[in-house]
Amino acid sequence: MATLSVTGPAAAASRPKLPVSVLIVTDVVEDAQQTMPAALWRRIVVDYVGARSSTAEDGTALPESDRCRAAHALYAVFASFERAPRLPGLAQEPDRAYALARFTVRNCVTGLVSPAKTVRLQSDPLSDADRGDFEPNAERTWDRSVRADLARDPLLLAAVARVVSIDGGVVLLESGGGFSISQVLRDFADGDAHTHPPIELVVLDVGGKYVRASVTGAGTPRVGDYVEAAPPAPAPAKK
């Protein structure tokens, strides 16, 4: 399955938002709550996921498939933040704090859960005041540095597009990138992320965030439908 991956802080800032709906649950572990306010972590995660539409809430676990489908979400993301101990033998600056961010993604259509992704985070240098009381200066301590660390290690979601218009047998898609000319696609779910029999499309051209594709399979796409890269055809059996 194709994936969208943009690395580096500048790339993250310019990355098109994914045209999908994502249910995001964030958690700041108890030992880190004086370091990272829940509202700040939630904002950072929403920006990191980069979805056009997202619902973010506090919680302690990845939503089950029924919960994310009820939210009409294509993906669910659970993101936790916890303090990281200083590790013997690992180069660490004495004037900085360290943390771990953990991300788990569920595909709400298939129910499949990706392996947890862990990103090690490092704060900006701490002032004397920060060392004693992180919370009043949490944005100064963590906001810039966490965003920079996450931008260098992007969260990978499948390349997904939405149908924005249909003219005869030509479908105009809006995407976050990841598609190429002559690529085979499949329209697999309606605008509420309810699956239907796949409708095959082929990419005609790509221009910025828009993709033109022709319908080559049975069925009729509808505006708002979700489209993704079709899985590769199985290799022929050896005789």
- Kindly report the pTM of this predicted structure: 0.71
Specify whether domain 160-229 bears CATH 3.40.718.10. Answer: no
Q: Could you say which of 3.40.50, 1.20.1740, 2.60.40, 1.10.10 is the CATH number of the domain covering 3-157?
A: 3.40.50
Task: Quick: pLDDT tens for 95-109.
Answer: 688 899 999 999 888
What does the pLDDT look like over 156-200, one tens digit per residue?
A: 777 788 999 999 889 999 987 789 999 999 999 898 888 899 999
> 157 with 75: CB under 8 angstroms?
yes
- What stretches of 17-97 adopt beta strand conformation (E)? 18-28, 51-58, 75-83
pLDDT in tens, 114-157: 889 999 998 888 765 444 444 446 777 889 999 999 999 988 77
Q: Is 98 helix (H, G, I), strand (E, B) or coil?
A: strand
CA distance 173 to 159: 12
Domain with CATH 2.40.10.170 in the chain: 160-229
CATH 3.40.50 residue ranges in the chain?
3-157
